[in-house]
Structures are given as structure tokens and as C-alpha cells.
Homo-oligomer: A and B are copies of this chain.
Amino acid sequence: MNQMPTPFKDQTITKLFNIKYPIIQAGMVWVSGAKLAAAAANAGCLGIIGAGSMNPEVLELHLKKVKTLTDKPVAVNIPLLYRFAQEQIDLSLKYGIKIFFMSAGSPKKYTQYLKDKGCTVVHVTSSPELAKKCEAAGVDAIVAEGFEAGGHNGRDEITTMALIPQVIDAVKIPVIAAGGIACGRSIAAGLALGANAVQMGSRFVCTKESSAHDNFKEMIRNSKSGDTKLSMKGVVPVRLLKNKFYEEICALEAKCATSEELVSHLGKGRAKKGMLEGDLVEGELEIGQVSAHIIDDPTVAELVSELVTTYAKAVERL
């Protein structure tokens, strides 16, 4: 692992997860498997396997593989609306996962179940009201994720800058800031807002160890500000790169299409098509606003080293 001493003062989350840096690599569909999670863990962060795009057989492969790549803490992210959620939880427990990042559903559903098994439970939210419910349900920490984040988003469209102080004042448990964080400066900003740690998604998509297709990564590197948009609000809001699929959704929305028509056009497998298989035209390309600022494709080790160094410089400016 990186031998640099840590410049991060707040050790709340590093102690909770037994990691070196208060940096979490987000669990994301199609792009964050065992390889990325292990690389993040080996670099001193918390790595997360994104189980939202894995049936139980595939998840099991990743759970086995990650143990061969790292002995450091790795978590699993399970979107609760996913029909295999229970199997995924039990498989993860079977393979020794002790940290769970739950999203897209009620914190009351599995929190106690996991806590009873000695696990650490984190829940992803997008509002201070939901954060309070998570705390009441007994979670150990909260990810507060702003409007600028890639993928599925909250309906209130609260940005990270506005959200984090509100969530911190609403709860007593640790808070992890997410959305719009992709460099040392924005890590410093997230912690300055009062968060105990930060989570990054899009930035880790563009690394050698991510399973994102090269086409997708290249499109991210070439993207400019304004190239992502929160779309499909009539179904479930999702932030994605503007491509032909996005334009088709806009055309439907401009004609006041119903949510059934939107779902029908979305069909099945669009995110896999785009993010894993590289179809930039028909695919759904979930990524955050920071895509405009990502211009390289480093290894996770190189990235984390850069993040820690530039974080220290950003803090020194203050």
C-alpha cells in the first residue's frame, strides 16, 4: 500500500471501516467489480463491489475473486429495489463481507438483520429527512449524495454543497459526502462542509481497474461541462451522458409521454449496453457532472496518490 502518512485529520470513518484514507470508492453498476474494489482497498480506501448489476452467480464470482486480490476491507453495495437483494446479502455474508452500503429503498428493511450479524451498515440518502430515518433505523453511517452525482438521484435535486451541512446538522452519526467529488480540492471541500469522509464514483470509473468499456471511458474523458443531464424524471431520475438515447427520451418528454411510454423506450439492458459493452449510441451512460473534469485513465494506486497529495495542497491554501 501507499506508504505516505495520512494528511486527513478526521479518523471517524477510517476507524469505522479500518482503512487508511477517508475515501470510499462507490459501488456502481457494471463498472465496480472485484478488480476495482480490491485496487481501491489496496490503495488505502474502502472498495465497494456494486452488486446492482449482478445476479447471485456473478456476485459470487466477484466475492471469491476479491479475496484473492486483497485482504483489506471491501464492502458490497446492494440497491434494495433489486429482486435478488436477500440472496446478495446472504452470499456476501457467506464470503465474509462485513460492510454493507445499502441504497434505493428503506433503511428499515435489512439494517437490523445485518447489525445482528455484526456488520457495519451504511445507507445512501439524498435529503436530511431521509438521513434522519436512516439514523432512526440504526445505520452506522450515511452517504449524503448530491444532485451532481452520476446514476440514480433523489427527486429534490439538492446539491452536495447545500445538502451536506443540512444532513450533518440533522443527524449525530458519521456522514460521507458524495456527488461532485473527483479531485483533491473537492475532497477538501467535502470535508470542509463537515463530512467525515468522501465517496467518489465517476472518478473511479476512469481507472485501469474499472470494468467500464474503453469507449465509455474515452467519452468521459472527452466530455465537457453540461454534457450530463438528470433524465427520466418521469420514471426514476438518473444522471447520464447526453447521447442519442438521451435525445430520444427528451423527444418523448417534450411530447408529454407517460411514464409507461418512457419505461417501454428504456427497455432492458441499456446501462450494460453502454457502460460495459461500449455502445455509446443506444446505451444508458450513467456518470456524474465531474465527467467534464476527468481527462486521464490512471491506475487506482496512481489516482489515490494524486488525490491525497492534492488534498494536502488544497488544505494548505486555507
Contact = CB atoms under 8 A, between A and B. Distances in A.
Contacts of A317: 9-10, 191-192, 194
Given A161-B186, A185-B194, A224 B129 contact: yes
Interface string A169-194: 10000000001111101101111111
A156 B146 CA distance: 16
Given A186-B193, A226-B127, A293 B165 contact: yes
Interface in A178-221: 179-183, 185-186, 188-194
A81 B162 CA distance: 29
Interface string A239-278: 0000000000000001110000000000000000000000
B166 A293 contact: yes
Number of copies: 2
A146 B163 CA distance: 14
A192 B194 contact: no
A148 B166 CA distance: 14
A159 B148 contact: yes
Nearest to A162: B289
Residue in A160, A169, A315 whose Cβ sees the most chain B Cβ within 10 Å? A160
Interface residues of A, number: 52
A157 interface: yes
Residue in A146, A148, A163, A192 whose Cβ sees the most chain B Cβ within 10 Å? A192
Interface string A136-164: 00000000001110000001111111111
A229 interface: yes
A128 interface: yes
A127 B186 contact: no
A239 B189 CA distance: 24
A118 to B, nearest CB: 31
A188 B145 CA distance: 19
A288 interface: yes
Nearest to A8: B318
A230 interface: yes
A181 B161 CA distance: 7
Interface of A: 9-10, 127-129, 146-148, 155-166, 169, 179-183, 185-186, 188-194, 224-226, 229-230, 254-256, 288-290, 292-293, 314-315, 317-318
6 contacts: A147-B159, A148-B162, A161-B181, A161-B189, A162-B293, A255-B256
